[in-house]
C-alpha cells in the first residue's frame, strides 16, 4: 500500500485551515488560557478519533449498531443546529448566567473542542470511513502503525493552525468576525444538508431513484 496516499487524503478531508472560522466563532468569548486548552483538547481528540478509527472504527460502530450512513445523518443534524446559531450570530454553548462563569466557560470550551470542532467538523464520517478503508488495505503491523501514526500529523497540524487563529481574529475585528460568522454559517448549513442527504440516500436507497428523476 502507498502510505503517502492516506496522509494526503486525511489532510485534504480534515482541512484544519477550513475550520479556523468556526474555531474563531466558537471560542471568541473564551480567555486566552481557555482557548489554548480548547486547542489542546481538539488536537488530542482529532488524534484519538483517527487512531481509533484505524484500529477498530468499523467494529466500534457496528458494536453500537450504528452505520456510517446513520453517523452522517446525526453529524449533519448537529452541523445544521450549529449553522443556525452562526447565522443568528449566537455564541456557541454560552453559559454566562451560571453561578461560576469562569468554570462554565472552561467546561464549554472543553465541550466545544470535542463537539462540534473535532467531531464532526474536523474528523467526521469521511475521516472515519477513510481510515477504515485504508486500514483494511494494510498488509503488516508496521503499515498499520504508520497509518495510525498519521493521527499525530493531523493533531500537530490542527494545533498549529488553531494557534494562529488569534492573529486572524485580531486582524478581522469583532465586526469582521460577525460577518464571517454569518457567511460561514451559510456554508456550514449547505455542508450539513449535503451530509444529511448523502446519509439519507444510503439509509433509504429509494430516495436516490426519486432524486435522479
For the stretch 75-128, pLDDT in tens is: 788 778 878 877 876 554 443 343 344 455 556 556 788 988 898 889 987 888
Q: Is the pLDDT of residue 35 over 60?
A: yes
The answer to whether the beta carbons of residues 119 and 45 sit under 8 Å apart is: yes
Confidence of residue 136 (pLDDT cuts 50, 70, 90): confident
Q: What is the pLDDT of residue 95?
A: 35
Name the more confident of 168 and 209: 168
CA distance 102 to 11: 34
The grid coordinates of residue 32 equal 486566552
Segment 169-208, tens digit of pLDDT: 788 787 877 787 788 788 878 878 887 888 888 888 766 6
**The three grid cell numbers given for residue 204, joined into one nine-digit string:** 433509504
pLDDT of residue 13: 85
Least confidently predicted of 16-25, 58-67, 90-99, 191-200: 90-99
* Secondary structure (DSSP) of 70-87: HHHHHHHHHHHHHHHHHH
> What does the pLDDT average to over 127-155?
87
pLDDT the model gives residue 99: 34
Q: How far apart are CA 42 and CA 104, in angstroms?
A: 18
Place of cell 471568541: 28
- Per-residue model confidence (pLDDT) at position 96: 39
- Taking the alpha carbons at both ends of the chain, their separation in whole angstroms is 39
CA distance 122 to 93: 18
| pLDDT at 1 exceeding the cut of 70 | no
Band of the pLDDT at 36, cuts 50, 70, 90? very high
Residue 43 pLDDT grade (very low, low, confident, very high; cuts 50, 70, 90)? very high
Does this model's pTM top 0.75? Answer: no
Amino acid at each position: 500500500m502507498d502510505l503517502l496516499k492516506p496522509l494526503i487524503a486525511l489532510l485534504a478531508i480534515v482541512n484544519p485551515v477550513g475550520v479556523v472560522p468556526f474555531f474563531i466563532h466558537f471560542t471568541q468569548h473564551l480567555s486566552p488560557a481557555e482557548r489554548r486548552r480548547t486547542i489542546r483538547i481538539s488536537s488530542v481528540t482529532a488524534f484519538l478519533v483517527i487512531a481509533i478509527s484505524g484500529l477498530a472504527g468499523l467494529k466500534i460502530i457496528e458494536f453500537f449498531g450504528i452505520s456510517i450512513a446513520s453517523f452522517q445523518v446525526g453529524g449533519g443534524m448537529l452541523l445544521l443546529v450549529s449553522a443556525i446559531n452562526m447565522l443568528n450570530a449566537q455564541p456557541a454553548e454560552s453559559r454566562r448566567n451560571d453561578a461560576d462563569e469562569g468554570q462554565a466557560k472552561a467546561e464549554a470550551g472543553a465541550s466545544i473542542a470535542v463537539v462540534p470542532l473535532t467531531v464532526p467538523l474536523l474528523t467526521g464520517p469521511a475521516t472515519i470511513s477513510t481510515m477504515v478503508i485504508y486500514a483494511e488495505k494494510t498488509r503488516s503491523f508496521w503499515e498499520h502503525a504508520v497509518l495510525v501514526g498519521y493521527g499525530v500529523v493531523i493533531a500537530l497540524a490542527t494545533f498549529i493552525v488553531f494557534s494562529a487563529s488569534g492573529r486572524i481574529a485580531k486582524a478581522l475585528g469583532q465586526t469582521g468576525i460577525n460577518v464571517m460568522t454569518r457567511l460561514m454559517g451559510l456554508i456550514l448549513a449547505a455542508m450539513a444538508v449535503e451530509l444529511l442527504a448523502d446519509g439519507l440516500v444510503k439509509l433509504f436507497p429509494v430516495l436516490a431513484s426519486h432524486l435522479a428523476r
